[in-house]
Structure 1
Amino acid sequence: MSDERGLVLEQVRIALAGRELVSISARVARGETLTVMGPSGSGKSTLLAYLGGFLDPAFSASGAVRVDGVDLTGLAAEQRHAGILFQDPLLFPHLSVTDNIAIAIPQAVRGRSRRRAMAEAALEDAGLSGFGGSDPDTLSGGQKARVALQRVLLSQPRLLLLDEPFSKLDANLRDQTRQMVFTKARDAGLPVVLVTHDEADAQAAAGEVHRVGDP
């Protein structure tokens, strides 16, 4: 293990049927965000899939991915500990709000009461005290986004991958949710990779911007 801190992408290249979609080398410090912008179909989400370890085998890819000096490139997805937020919060409809969060707590944390207390504390931190027993379908879009974020953070990820998680929120909620996500990531010291086509997302992220698929 080296003394590198944060996320390092070293000559990452992704292609489909011989056509290169992504070519990037970058360093993302802890708490900072790399924004990858481009039109639909340009390879933005494909890059996240490569970083997370779940790239479709139809794509060919090469290049190293390291976090704090740990080489993730050869690791299975579940060993990479990449936290991911998608456009949809993907809450489990058969679980309560509390259980939706608790399910992400690492197995090393023992005891139902302890795990439940951690989940309840995360809800309180997100301004959702009292919602723990609720059906997730009763939450607003912004509330669902907060639950999804807290679930990811409780999983103790090495890095945070954002796949246009603000795109389905209305303008006011979008601003609030952006601020919450980037603040939480900074506080947790997580390197973040955001893919988006929204310039306002990139501005809020306040980090390096890499563009793919531009003419």
Structure 2
Amino acid sequence: MDDGLTLEKLEIAKDGRRMICLTAHVPPGQVLSVMGPSGAGKSTLLSALIGTLAPGFDLTGRVLLNGRDITALPPERRQIGILFQDELLFPHLSVGGNLGFGLPAGIRGRAARSARIETALADIGMPGYAARDPQTLSGGQKARVALMRVLLSHPRALLLDEPFSRLDAGLRAQIRDLVFARARAAGLPVLLVTHDEDDARAAGGPVIRLRR
């Protein structure tokens, strides 16, 4: 089985009505864009991929990640990261604390974890921000911290749930390019859900359009 994220005859239905029928493969470093109107099942698809599909939905088919069947695994064992519309930074933690939340448990000791956090902040152009309150950050800074928190957890795939939609046009392009570049550098298959044609064009990969 090829490396990457594979949706194998994935069907999602509710109350006997089929919402999604999808077969796709996303190689490492590629972005698959999924577009469609509200109610077409985009959020439902993401829930199925991360393992949080609500009761009442019926799922058939398989989700494979690097050849491993993860369809029945709990969310914490799937090794899939996700970025949402809102950054969802923890308000009770500093910027460094938020990044530390994403660090693997194998990085032990305060000094080692602090060093990794400082390196991560430097990588996104925010050196010295570890002690800052997330509420004092700009929208672009919050987006960068949210991205790095996901990447620090070493996911094997990345899902994007319209994470650029709340940013203004100039910042949107900047953060979008950063996310795609980081994902490519890490060799992650990416599935992007978006309403925006510019997002899909910037992703540079195939586009699937869902209908309600």
- Name the amino acid aligned to 1:49: S
Aligned counterpart in structure 1 of residue 102 of structure 2, from 92, 101, 104: 104
Aligned counterpart in structure 2 of residue 147 of structure 1, from 133, 145, 148: 145
Q: CA deviation at 1:115?
A: 1.3
For residues 28 and 137 of structure 1, what CA distance do their matches in structure 2 show?
35
Match of 1:127 in 2: 125
Q: CA deviation at 1:155?
A: 0.3
Unaligned runs of 5+ in 1: none
5 Å-filtered alignment, 1:120-199, equals 120-199=118-197
For residues 111 and 55 of structure 2, what CA distance do their matches in structure 1 show?
41
Asked if 1:69 is matched to 2:93, the reply is: no
Deviation track 1:110-164 (CA, whole Å, cap 9, x = no partner) reads 2121112111111110001121110000001110000000000000001000000
For residues 178 and 20 of structure 1, what CA distance do their matches in structure 2 show?
32
Q: CA deviation at 1:9?
A: 0.7
Match of 1:83 in 2: 81
SS at match of 2:170: helix
Unaligned runs of 5+ in 2: none
For residues 74 and 59 of structure 1, what CA distance do their matches in structure 2 show?
14
Match of 1:54 in 2: 52
Q: CA deviation at 1:4?
A: 2.0
Determine if contact 1:106/1:155 at 8 Å carries over to the other structure. yes
SS at match of 1:45: helix
- Name the amino acid aligned to 2:47: A
Deviation track 1:44-76 (CA, whole Å, cap 9, x = no partner) reads 011111011111112111111111111111111
Determine if contact 1:5/1:69 at 8 Å carries over to the other structure. yes
For residues 15 and 201 of structure 1, what CA distance do their matches in structure 2 show?
28
Instruction: State the number of aligned residues.
Output: 212
Aligned counterpart in structure 1 of residue 15 of structure 2, from 10, 14, 17: 17
Asked if 1:35 is matched to 2:33, the reply is: yes
- Name the amino acid aligned to 2:142: K
- Name the amino acid aligned to 2:148: Q
- Name the amino acid aligned to 2:179: V
Deviation track 1:163-198 (CA, whole Å, cap 9, x = no partner) reads 000000000010001100000000000000010111
- Name the amino acid aligned to 2:105: Q
Runs of 4+ in 1 over 4 A off after TM superposition: none
Percent identity over the alignment is 58
For residues 197 and 206 of structure 1, what CA distance do their matches in structure 2 show?
15
Determine if contact 1:4/1:67 at 8 Å carries over to the other structure. no
- Name the amino acid aligned to 2:18: E
Deviating more after overlay: 4-13 vs 83-92: 4-13
For residues 122 and 207 of structure 2, what CA distance do their matches in structure 1 show?
33
- What is the TM-score when the length of structure 1 is the normalising length? 0.96
For residues 137 and 207 of structure 1, what CA distance do their matches in structure 2 show?
34
Match of 1:201 in 2: 199
